Amino acid sequence: MEARFECEIDKIETGVLLQDISFTYDLGLPQETKALSNINLEVRAGQHVAVLGHNGSGKSTLAHLINALLLPQEGNIVIFGREPSDDEAIWEIRCRSGMVFQNPDNQIIGTTLEEDVAFGPENLGLPQSELRQRVDFALEQVGLTELAQRPPHTLSGGQKQKLAIAGILAMEPSCLILDEATAMLDPASRNDFMDLVLRLRAERELTVINITHNMEEVLLADYIYVVHNGKIALHGTASDIFDQAELIRSMGLDVPVHIEIAGEIARLTGQPLQAAEAFSLVDAIQAVNCRLSDPPQARSGLTKNREAGQTFSPSTHDEFPERKTLVRVRGLSYTYNPDLEQSVKALSDLSLDIYEGEFLGIAGHSGSGKSTFIQHLNGLIRPEPGVVEVMGLDVSVKKNIRKVREHLGLLFQYPEQQLFEETVAADIAFGPKQMGLSPAEIELRVREAAELTGLEPALLDRSPFDLSGGQMRRVAIAGILAMKPDILVLDEPTAGLDPAGRDELLNYIQRLQEKGQTIVMISHDMDQLAGLCDRILVLKDGVKYLLGTPAEVFETEEAIVSAGLAMPRTKIFLEQLSKIDPSIRTDIFTPKEAARELYCHYQAGGEA
């Protein structure tokens, strides 16, 4: 082992090498927390490595160590031939590697794009002519040249992250570290951002270290490290890693949909997947097809009949017209800054009913009017022109607003940022208190809401700021639920959570719906919407573009793509398979159900 590392130090002198690294926050203090222990990791120059792990696994600490923003307490670290032993070396390491952070806003320093890009090179003390040249080049590389003089707060999230890349490129680094850089971006901007990273890596021979929990990004890497509870739990190529799908899931991480389906089929047929067999979508389809079209002895072992498939046929929604209408929207339009030249039409002529007990999903590209629409629902924006009625109350009448907000609970993105009370219980009680309920009633509601969102009673007396991100978000949701709204409106409730936190939250949301709660949810994740919702509204440039059941909305790919969205991944998989066998159903949206359906389909087909 020793010898192997020694010879590799020579070989990879220009890469990143971590040997037996341990790091503890607040070392020696009562609140000390061990973040990393005995980490061994190596990245060759020019390699693209993904570091995967749930929130709090220590992966961000790892990123900070690689950029010498933190120094290890134990172990050796060599970054492009330099050890962070003194100030000069630390400085040099930071010059060699640039880092894109998670929150786009909190890493922009300049008051114009140009000045922000110049910040790094200015710190290097470069002469002015060189600064100018580097800034222009970097902005051009990321396609922001035209916006050079604009103030950064006018950019979209995706543009801000590209600006962060430009700021790093201008320092001419060898290594690009992405610390969950895409976590706050919508899917379209995320793809755009990763395309840019891949292009720059190829053109400029950059080493890329991507710290993420997004599975599609992981598949782009040459090599993967999985961090779990401060240790490297697994490492290898994508096929090595996803060979152990169960283990990955047990660590609170996702498995790509096609691998999940292929794995499930392999389990049902009793023919395990071979390494590398189900790595790409094409491979996975191949693997599934070869197991199903030629089912050997397995058929007798696992008998399941065709009827099983019928249990998850899409529910029919003919009953909707009989349901009670809770929200009525007619002819709603809205324009931002109507007096100014740069007025933006956010909504035009939108009409819609929301029925009792339904789960309505809202999808649309960024700027399609989703957020503007839901702000009309509780009167934060007055409809003009148009009508919005909640439980028969017109929201444009000022004296109705209070009642409307009791009937319709609206939760914004990143709602944990609205917490402010000293204890969790007090924060949940804020809404009910404003409603003027009795103290006994308030206490009862707080306890109920905490239970519905899975917050243990012991947490109620703690400060909300001591909780984890996922828990804080559930406190915020409980704060709305305690008002017992008839309609719960959620704006991207799972944004920024890791897969485990996301699944947990969705579970609670689903349980609420089973109890008859009417829910409206905005999401960028089409798999999520397709799997959970009764109906989906797709907005495009402020216009109602599609409205119907998941099966109806996702019927044609062209329509979805032209709305700037992607098809659900399970659906994509089934569509591909149906090219081989047109009789395969394609209106299924969860990987598990798809695998069962496929299995039953071929069983029936084989017997017929």
Partner 1 sequence: MGQQIVLGQYVPGSSFLHSLDPRTKLISAILLMILSLSSMSAVSLSVLALVVLGLMLLSRLKIGLILRTIRPIMLLLLFAFLFNLFTGKGEIIFSYGFIVIREDGLVRAIKILVRLVLLVLSTSILITLTTTPILIADAIESLLSPLKRLRFPVHEISMMMSIALRFIPTLLDEMQKIMKAQSSRGADYDTGNALKRARGFVSILVPLFISSFRRADDLATAMEARCYRGGKNRTRLKVIKYSRLDLLFAAMMILTAVAVYALPIVFPGL
Which residues between 120 and 139 bind partner 1 (CB under 8 A)? Answer: 120-128, 131-132, 135
Cα–Cα distance, 23 to 62 (Å, whole number):
9
Cα–Cα distance, 483 to 392 (Å, whole number):
19
Here the contacts of 129-132 (C-beta below 8 Å, separation 24 or greater) are: none
What contacts 428, CB < 8 A, 6 or more positions away?
445, 446, 449, 450, 460, 475, 478, 479, 482
Kindly tell me which residue out of 424, 480, 490, 522 binds partner 1, with binding defined by CB under 8 A: 480
Q: For partner 1, which is the closer residue by CB, 69 or 559?
A: 69
Cα–Cα distance, 520 to 362 (Å, whole number):
7
Cα separations (Å) of 242 from 4, 354, 468, 549, 596? 27, 41, 28, 33, 20
Kindly tell me which residue out of 434, 463, 507, 510 binds partner 1, with binding defined by CB under 8 A: 434
Q: Establish if 118 lies at the interface with partner 1 (CB under 8 A).
A: yes
Compose the 282-321 pattern: x for residues touching partner 1 by CB under 8 A, - for all others: ----------------------------------------
| Shortest CB 121 distance to partner 1, Å | 8
Q: For partner 1, which is the closer residue by CB, 248 or 411?
A: 411
Compose the 168-197 pattern: x for residues touching partner 1 by CB under 8 A, - for all others: x--x--------------------------
Q: Which residues between 46 and 75 bind partner 1 (CB under 8 A)? A: 64, 67, 69
Using the contact rule CB under 8 A, the part of the chain among 270-278, 339-347, 348-356, 571-579 near partner 1 is: 339-347
| Shortest CB 493 distance to partner 1, Å | 13
Strands, E, within 160-288: which ranges? 175-179, 207-212, 223-228, 231-236
Residue type, 450: A
Q: Which residues pair with 24 in a beta bridge?
A: 34
Q: Tell me the HSE value of 353 on the side-chain side, using a 13 A CA sphere.
A: 11
| Shortest CB 589 distance to partner 1, Å | 29
Sheet holding 74-79, edge to edge: 33-43, 16-25, 74-79
| Shortest CB 506 distance to partner 1, Å | 21
What the block records as the tokens of 28 is: 């020696």
Count Cβ atoms within 10 A of the Cβ of residue 333 and give its class: 0-12 exposed, 13-18 middle, 19 or more buried: middle
Q: For partner 1, which is the closer residue by CB, 371 or 528?
A: 371
Q: Which helix (H) or strand (E) holds 364?
A: strand 359-364
Are the C-beta atoms of 166 and 141 separated by less than 8 Å? yes
Q: Which residues between 369 and 388 bind partner 1 (CB under 8 A)? A: 371-372, 375, 378, 380
Kindly tell me which residue out of 54, 405, 473, 571 binds partner 1, with binding defined by CB under 8 A: 405
Q: For partner 1, which is the closer residue by CB, 114 or 358?
A: 114
Using the contact rule CB under 8 A, the part of the chain among 250-258, 295-303, 409-417, 542-550 near partner 1 is: 409-417
Cα–Cα distance, 257 to 571 (Å, whole number):
10
Q: Establish if 431 lies at the interface with partner 1 (CB under 8 A).
A: yes
For the beta carbon of residue 608, count every other beta carbon within 10 angstroms.
Answer: 6
Using the contact rule CB under 8 A, the part of the chain among 7-15, 195-203, 279-287, 337-345 near partner 1 is: 337-345
Query: Number of residues in contact with partner 1, rule: CB under 8 A?
Result: 72
What contacts 86, CB < 8 A, 6 or more positions away?
none
Cα–Cα distance, 356 to 359 (Å, whole number):
9
Q: Establish if 217 lies at the interface with partner 1 (CB under 8 A).
A: no
Using the contact rule CB under 8 A, the part of the chain among 243-251, 478-486, 523-531, 545-553 near partner 1 is: 478-486
Kindly tell me which residue out of 303, 311, 337, 583 binds partner 1, with binding defined by CB under 8 A: 337
Q: Establish if 105 lies at the interface with partner 1 (CB under 8 A).
A: yes
What the block records as the tokens of 234 is: 């697994």
Kindly tell me which residue out of 137, 312, 320, 412 binds partner 1, with binding defined by CB under 8 A: 412
| Shortest CB 316 distance to partner 1, Å | 34
Q: Establish if 521 lies at the interface with partner 1 (CB under 8 A).
A: no
Using the contact rule CB under 8 A, the part of the chain among 42-50, 91-99, 243-251, 508-516 near partner 1 is: 91-99
Backbone angles phi, psi at 235, to 5 degrees: -150, 150
> Considering just the CA atoms, what is the radius of gyration of the chain in Å?
26
Q: Establish if 469 lies at the interface with partner 1 (CB under 8 A).
A: no
